[in-house]
Amino acid sequence: MTLWVIVPAFNEAARISATLYALAAQTDHDFTLLVVDNGSTDTTAEAVRAFAGCAPFPVHVLAEPEKGVGCAVDTGFRHAIAAGADLLARTDADCLPRPGWVAAARAALTGGAGMACGKITARSDEHGPIGRAIFATLVGLAAAFGRIRPAHRGDGYLAPYRMHAGNNMAITAELYLACGGMPRRPSPTDRTFLNRVRATTAAIAYRSDMIVENSTRRLRAYGIVGTAKWYLDQGSGPRTPDPR
């Protein structure tokens, strides 16, 4: 089955090369990479095109001028589906998928899951042990809050709530279209999208071997309290939802 990896990007010239080479280090190279440039004003697109010359898989760059990570992801997924993708995986342009990430995503989707998500851990090159521990704690608190939040419970859902990060997910093309796709808006979009999927199917799998190292720059930009509010779905306040 044909798999595409979608990476939304906005002004990520300083970071996206690490993400691209993490994808090049995958044990499974049988995929097409699509980077969706969400109106970058730096050299993000040029960095991707330079990488394409040595990539072990096809690489495409697609421009999406409508601002918002949800817009970039939705446009990228629908473009991939129109090009023949059966399976879709997503990470972000500041994340580092571990080498078995694509293989684990493919195994989950071809094994019966409609959607698969995995484990996120903090990048080791951005914070020391204390910062990474704080990040893990905040993610754990957000996951616990999500499970008890009334908006995430009800008879309309076919699967229990479990927090899944948009930068570490995979879904079949069929399910993506059936659930209505990613909400076309700025971050955060993950919870709304997950609930759309939960309202459509119970075939949601968690893969412990589907691992992505997540950027902790939000922690630096927002501080502990601000990051906690964001992960607890309280918004970003006066801050930009996509810190650079």
Q: Please check whether residue 80 is in contact with residue 32, taking contact to mean a CB–CB distance below 8 angstroms.
A: yes
Which residues, listed in sequence order, are joined to residue 171 by a DSSP beta bridge?
A: 88, 115
Mean pLDDT of 93-98: 96
pLDDT of residue 35: 98
CB-based contact 211:97 (threshold 8 Å): yes
Q: How far apart are CA 122 and CA 115, in angstroms?
A: 23
The pLDDT confidence band at residue 190, using thresholds 50, 70 and 90, is confident
Q: What is the share, in percent, of the chain residues with pLDDT greater than 90?
A: 66
Task: Say yes or no to pLDDT of 81 above 90.
Answer: yes
pLDDT at residue 239 is higher than 60: no
Neighbours of 159 (CB within 10 A): 17
pTM for this one? Answer: 0.88
Lowest model confidence (mean pLDDT) among 17-26, 31-40, 122-131, 228-237: 228-237
The residue assigned the tokens 């071809």 is 110
CATH of 3-231, one of 3.30.160.20, 3.40.50.800, 3.90.550.10, 3.40.50.10860: 3.90.550.10
Q: Quick check: 26 pLDDT over 60?
A: yes
- DSSP-assigned beta bridge partners for residue 59: 33
Q: What is the predicted pLDDT for the residue at 27?
A: 98
pLDDT averaged over the chain?
Answer: 88
3-class secondary-structure state, position 57: coil
Task: Reply yes or no on whether the pLDDT at 82 is more than 50.
Answer: yes
Token representation of residue 26 = 């995958």
The Cβ of residue 51 has, within 10 Å, a number of other Cβ atoms equal to 19
